[in-house]
Amino acid sequence: MLPKTHIILGFLFAAAMFFVFHIPLISASLIFFSSFLIDFDHYIYGAYKKKTLSFKKIYSFFIEHRTKWRSLSYEQKKKSKYPILLFHGVEFILLIFLLSFKFNIFYFIFLGSLFHIFVDYIEVLSEKDPLYVKASVLYVYFNNKNKK
C-alpha cells in the first residue's frame, strides 16, 4: 500500500479513536504516526539494496518493485523473494505489545502498527498475494532462501 493511503487511513482511524473513545490527543497522535511510520522499514530495505539514502530513489525502487510484483501470477510470487521488512511481522508487533505492559506509550504505538498491518493484509488478500509476505520476518527470511 502506498504511503499516502496509509497516512489517510491512519488519520481516519486515529480520529475515530479520538472522537469515539475520547482518548487524549497525544495518544491519537501516536496511533496516527505509528500507523504509517512503520513503513520506515521499506526505506531501510531500499537503502540497503540500492546503496543510497535518497528517499526519491528508494521510493522509485519500491514503485518499480511493486509494479513487477503485481504483474506476477500467484505461483510466480510464491517462487520469488520478498523484501525483508523488519517492522511488518508478528515479531515486531509482539514486541510492541509486550512493551505496552511496561510502558503505556507503546499501547498506542501497538494500535497504530496493528492497524497498519491490518490494512496491509486487506491489500495482500485483494491482490491474491501469498499470506506469508506480511506474517513473519523470520518466515520471509527462511522462505527466501534458494529463491531468485
Q: Spell out the domain ranges in the chain.
A: 3-144
The cell for 23 is 482518548
User: 89: which DSSP letter?
Assistant: S
Residue 142, judged by CB atoms within 10 A of its CB (0-12, 13-18, 19+), counts as exposed
Local confidence band at 130 (pLDDT 50, 70, 90 cut-offs): confident
Distances (CA, A) of 74 to 3, 70, 79, 125: 24, 9, 9, 11
Tell me the average pLDDT of the chain: 95
| 132 — pLDDT class (breaks 50, 70, 90) | confident
Poorest-pLDDT segment among 8-22, 32-46, 96-110, 126-140: 126-140
What's the CA gap between 115 and 20, in Å, rounded?
A: 16
Query: H-helix or E-strand containing 106?
Result: helix 105-126
**Which pLDDT band holds residue 147 (cuts at 50, 70, 90)?**
confident
DSSP 8-state secondary structure symbol assigned to residue 131 = G
Q: Distance (Å, rounded) from C-alpha 80 to C-alpha 101?
A: 38
C-alpha span between 7 and 4 (Å, rounded): 5
Hunting for cell 540497503 — which residue is that?
48
Q: Is pLDDT above 90 for 111?
A: yes
For residue 120, pLDDT over 90 is answered with yes
Using 50, 70 and 90 to split pLDDT, how confident is the model at 72?
very high
| Residue 128 pLDDT grade (very low, low, confident, very high; cuts 50, 70, 90) | confident
Residue type, 69: W
Q: Does position 148 have pLDDT exceeding 80, yes or no?
A: no
Task: Tell which wins on pLDDT, 128 or 108.
Answer: 108
Q: Is 11 exposed, middle or buried (0-12, 13-18, 19+ CB in 10 A)?
A: middle
**Quick check: 89 pLDDT over 80?**
yes
Distance in angstroms between the alpha carbons of the first and the last residue of the chain: 23
